[in-house]
Amino acid sequence: MIFQNISSENWVFNNIIAMSFCVYGTQHMYFGKFINGIISLLGLVAYDVFWVNHTHAMATVASNVKAPIKLLFPRETMDGLTKFSVLGLGDIIVPALMIALCLRMDCLRYIKSQIQPPPAPTAVSRRGGNKKKLMEAESQEALQRFVDAFPTHTGMFPKPYFISGFLGYIMGIAITLGAMVYYEGKAQPALLYIVPSCIFCILITGAWRGELTNLFKWNEELEGINLISPPEEKKKKQLLLNTKS
């Protein structure tokens, strides 16, 4: 498939390979904290604006590099020629990391709302400190086992932040296309329109639900539940827990 893409420059094969890169990147990279995602996105907006508007590097790479690092959309010109509109993979993966974080946040919040947390260990003496730690560890392992068995693939849980972020991305793409038409096909820094749209929609949702403070404090690593491990790693952990029991 890669050989076919390079040899014939087929835009369909190019897009298939490029989307595979997007899916892989979204599965294996994450921000961890919501505030980290906002800071990273805003920094990448500044980066994109500089390299697109003040240099020719981005336009040169997008037009001359024949590799699946972009999505190609064919269009016919007034002369009957076929040209391609280009969307870089960074304009997909970067916002997707924030939207994926929102999806995991929606899932974790729903899981915690549906189960009764294990009873907290009672106060113990200093000699019982190890017992307390053991009880906490066992409680966390029990919760993790529940999460691993939870059918997240069905998508049957409320997703307010994911939906708002996804709608923000669609709105940002629409604004980008409008800007390209307005500026008569001149290259546009897509992140300049996509990132503010995503962040705005997510923050509006948080404000509407009265959860802005919790949103900015969200930290996946402090939740103690793992939703981002590859399936192979989850299987290893499950086997390890089964052998312990």
Q: Is the dihedral of CA 164, 169, 173, 179 positive or negative?
A: positive
Q: Is the dihedral of CA 162, 167, 168, 174 positive or negative?
A: positive
Q: Of 79, 91, 106, 148, which residue is the catalytic one? A: 91
Residue 197 has, within 13 A of its CA and on its CB side, a CA count of: 20
Instruction: Indicate if 48 belongs to the active site.
Output: yes
How far apart are alpha carbons 66 and 223 in whole angstroms? 43
Residues in the chain: 245
Instruction: Indicate if 79 belongs to the active site.
Output: no
Distances (CA, A) of 58 to 22, 40, 88, 196: 19, 20, 9, 21
CB atoms within 10 A of CB 110: 16
Q: Return the SS3 of 86.
A: strand
Q: Of 48, 79, 106, 148, which residue is the catalytic one? A: 48
Q: What DSSP state is assigned to residue 157? A: S
Active-site residues, by number, are: 48, 91
